[in-house]
Structure 1
Amino acid sequence: MDCLGLFILLILMFFQWTAGHTAEEISWTYTGLVGQSEWPEYFPDCGGTSQSPVDVITTQTKYDPSLIPVTPLGYSQHGNRPFTLYNNGHTAVVELPDWMGLGGLPWLFTAVQMHLHWGSGSPSHGGSEHTINGLSADAELHVVHYNSELYPNMSAAMTQRDGLAVLGILIVTGEETNPSFNNILNYLSRIRHANQKVSIPAFDVQSLLPQDLGRYYRYNGSLTTPPCYQSVIWTLFHERVQISKAQLLRMETILYSSKAEEPDKMLLQDNYRATHPLNHRVILTSFSAESWKELSSGEVTAIVIGVMCGCVGLAVVIRFIVKTIRFFKLLHLETVVVNSSTSSWDVLPSNRPAPMPRIKEMEKALEKKQDMTLNLTSETEKKEEPSPCPETEP
């Protein structure tokens, strides 16, 4: 009986070791046999309750005035040492020197690497991992740091709850080319297949970030790829970064997830994880966003046109009112002039000239009256004057 129990115990230990070994060596993908839905089976942390990415519903975020702008440390001091760019079969990764770091958090974090996530150009698909109010961007950049104040290296920090800090930058497309992203995209053709590496000239990493580093969303989450450790303090910037459509197309179509020696070439596309529920987590914001609503470019255009039309309409109404007021003032003035016994100059006494014409008319009338009186008097005198008597006969 003891031998049978020992045998069963050995069998169980063998299967446990085999399962563990398989989990470490398993080649995961975003779709297929070991796709996202199967990750928790091989990587238990991927089934945790604090997973990333998430959908940021802005009306459900909480403003935290203590959140200060994050401070990139040494991002612009790239020096003369080249960066290493490589294709790990899941994304394009740029290794960062350890003199780069991140301030504005409770601890000092040291930069490790940055990588990209994108889609496949399909209108029905996104490309970013995080979404805001259900809307995804075309791509997303992640800059990964580890807590160098508490842990000696990335391996030790990545399993701890406060071990990592990741910056999330949402990327959208426009007409203008972003020269900063060409520092990466121009060298993708040299790492087309998985496990390929190349040295690239160092560049200003901060030029990849948004201009506004003070407006962001903050929450506790996880790595978005296996092993999905729930050890990340996420900072998702509110401001998007723009690249051209040609740059996005290059990102989506130039890399393969397959190795160079493999006969079947598989394009590296749609390398983004679906969003996960918050599960009672609270997303904090560094800016007041209680009633913030994300607007599309079409909505913004409509609002601008509406405001312009409203201003024009208001100007027309004001002009009409002013003209109407002037009309009634003039009408009232004319009525006063017509109905008043005084002249129009009496209404404006300050502008009234001397009444010279009226005096002259009165003088003429008086002279005429005097002439008529004189004439009448002369005729009367003539009538009253006795005629000469005739001489009598002697």
Structure 2
Amino acid sequence: MRFTVLCVGARRANMEFVALFMLLLIPGLHWTVGEDTSWTYTGMVGQSEWSDYFPDCGGNSQSPVEVVTTQTKYDPGLTPLTPLGYSQHGNKPFTLYNNGHTAVIDLPDWMSLGGLPWLFSAVQMHLHWGSGGPSIGGSEHIINGQSAEAELHIVHYNSELYPNMSVAMTQRDGLAVLGVLIVTGEETNPGFNNIINYLSRIRHANQKVYIPAFDVQSLLPNDLERYYRYNGSLTTPPCYQSVIWTLFHERVQISKAQLLRMETLLYSSKAGDPDRMLLQDNYRSTQPLNHRMVFASFTAESGKELSSGEVTAIVIGVMCGCVGLAVIVRFIIKTIRFFTLLHHETVAVNSSTSSWDVLTNNRPAPMQRMKEPEKAKEKQQEMVLNSTSQAEKKEERSSPQTEP
């Protein structure tokens, strides 16, 4: 009996020890995930669980967001952004590496960004993309419900107020990120080839390579005046809400082949891992605005952008209109020539028969003629009277000579 009691007590003590060990292990696991940033976009520590391990990911000013253009507010104080030193890359190579979440390029701090309240120095740039499957997605930000195939982020820190990126990223005004939406087309973008052509050298996580420096501004859209501005966060853990976001309205185009290489070349797993995992769908879903205002540097009229289909339709419509107008003008000219020629031919035919038929108004009025019978009769009477008077005169002359 005593032995049984001792066994039961020992078993209860072991269970309490295991429970205590688990309680100590769970906070340790939480700390390990937070320190090693062992998060993913899907899985055990996926997006829906980020806030459990990184509290800021559950904040009220998270990114990315959906921009609804009809709900933006025009701010005339948003001046065009000025990339400083983007094209003056020098001879020092860039470092390209795979961090298990995306492809990152470190940028020299003498590259900076003007047009903001403070001077922001460049830190790095990276990409987000989808998987090329039936699901539509790839970009993090969305405009009017429409996402793009990929998105480029260029990260800067406030070098006027803070000494480095580590300090600045924890401050509300510490970071400034440029967002560039990327769509696909038929033409190859030579600027993005400066990155995509070297992705095969960093296929696995933690691999890096030096690549030739290039003009970073070649990755930006041509129009730097039209953009959206709002206060948000990093789109990956620890999700610090310290970012002044600038999302360009104009999209940049790359070829479908370039996008395919981006989606299929990299792995999120390390080189020694037995199970390779493709690095795909590395974009965060949009977050609620929570009464934040998205500002626009342009008005709705000036910022209206036409899709490629709309542009093609307009061009075809204009061409058809021009062709139709040319046909109508040609028809009118031929009609005028036809009636002019017909008129000349009619005049020529009529003038060959009688000029009076053509110029009826110029025909002289007929002269009045005396009646011939009456005039002859009057002349005959005059002759009779003359002859009678002459006979009577002769008789008068001859009558005195015959008397005795």
> TM-score band (shorter)?
0.7 to 0.9
Residue number among 191, 196, 203 corresponding to 1:192 in the alignment: 203
Equivalent residue number for residue 378 of structure 1: 376
Equivalent residue number for residue 278 of structure 1: 289
The alpha-carbon deviation at position 124 of structure 1 amounts to 2.3
Any stretches of 5+ residues in structure 2 without a counterpart?
A: 1-19, 332-358, 392-404
Mapping of residues 299-378 of structure 1, within 5 Å: 299-302=310-313, 357-358=362-363, 361-362=364-365, 365-366=366-367, 369=369, 372-373=370-371, 376-378=374-376
Give the 3 Å change call, closer, same or farther, for CA 248–239 of structure 1 in structure 2: same
2:318 & 2:288 partners in 1: Cα distance? 38
The sequence identity of aligned pairs, in percent, is: 76
Residue number among 3, 24, 28 corresponding to 2:39 in the alignment: 28
Equivalent residue number for residue 149 of structure 1: 160
1:170 & 1:265 partners in 2: Cα distance? 29
Amino acid at match of 1:34: V
Aligned pairs, how many? 346
The alpha-carbon deviation at position 144 of structure 1 amounts to 0.3
Equivalent residue number for residue 118 of structure 2: 107
Query: 4+ runs of 1 displaced by more than 3 Å?
Result: 9-19, 290-320, 372-376, 383-389
Partner-residue secondary structure (3-state), 1:280? coil
1:105 & 1:304 partners in 2: Cα distance? 38
Equivalent residue number for residue 263 of structure 1: 274
1:174 & 1:149 partners in 2: Cα distance? 40
2:218 paired with 1:207: yes
Equivalent residue number for residue 334 of structure 1: none
Any stretches of 5+ residues in structure 1 without a counterpart?
A: 1-8, 321-352, 390-394
Deviations 1:56-99 (A, max 9, x none): 01111111111111111110110000000011111111110111
2:70 & 2:328 partners in 1: Cα distance? 37
Partner-residue secondary structure (3-state), 1:135? coil
Amino acid at match of 1:259: K
The alpha-carbon deviation at position 264 of structure 1 amounts to 1.4
2:185 & 2:37 partners in 1: Cα distance? 39
Amino acid at match of 1:377: K
2:246 & 2:84 partners in 1: Cα distance? 16
Query: Does the aligned pair in 2 maintain the 1:133–1:294 contact within 8 Å?
Result: no
Deviations 1:283-339 (A, max 9, x none): 01111138966654334545666677789999999999xxxxxxxxxxxxxxxxxxx
2:88 & 2:166 partners in 1: Cα distance? 25
2:303 & 2:325 partners in 1: Cα distance? 28
Give the 3 Å change call, closer, same or farther, for CA 71–374 of structure 1 in structure 2: same
Query: Does the aligned pair in 1 maintain the 2:191–2:218 contact within 8 Å?
Result: yes
Residue number among 124, 142, 147 corresponding to 1:136 in the alignment: 147
2:22 & 2:129 partners in 1: Cα distance? 44
Give the 3 Å change call, closer, same or farther, for CA 22–211 of structure 1 in structure 2: closer
Query: Does the aligned pair in 2 maintain the 1:60–1:290 contact within 8 Å?
Result: no
Q: What's the TM-score once normalised by structure 2's chain length?
A: 0.77
Query: Does the aligned pair in 2 maintain the 1:61–1:289 contact within 8 Å?
Result: no
Query: Does the aligned pair in 2 maintain the 1:59–1:292 contact within 8 Å?
Result: no
Equivalent residue number for residue 233 of structure 1: 244
The alpha-carbon deviation at position 123 of structure 1 amounts to 3.5
Amino acid at match of 1:248: L
Query: Does the aligned pair in 2 maintain the 1:56–1:133 contact within 8 Å?
Result: yes
2:74 paired with 1:76: no
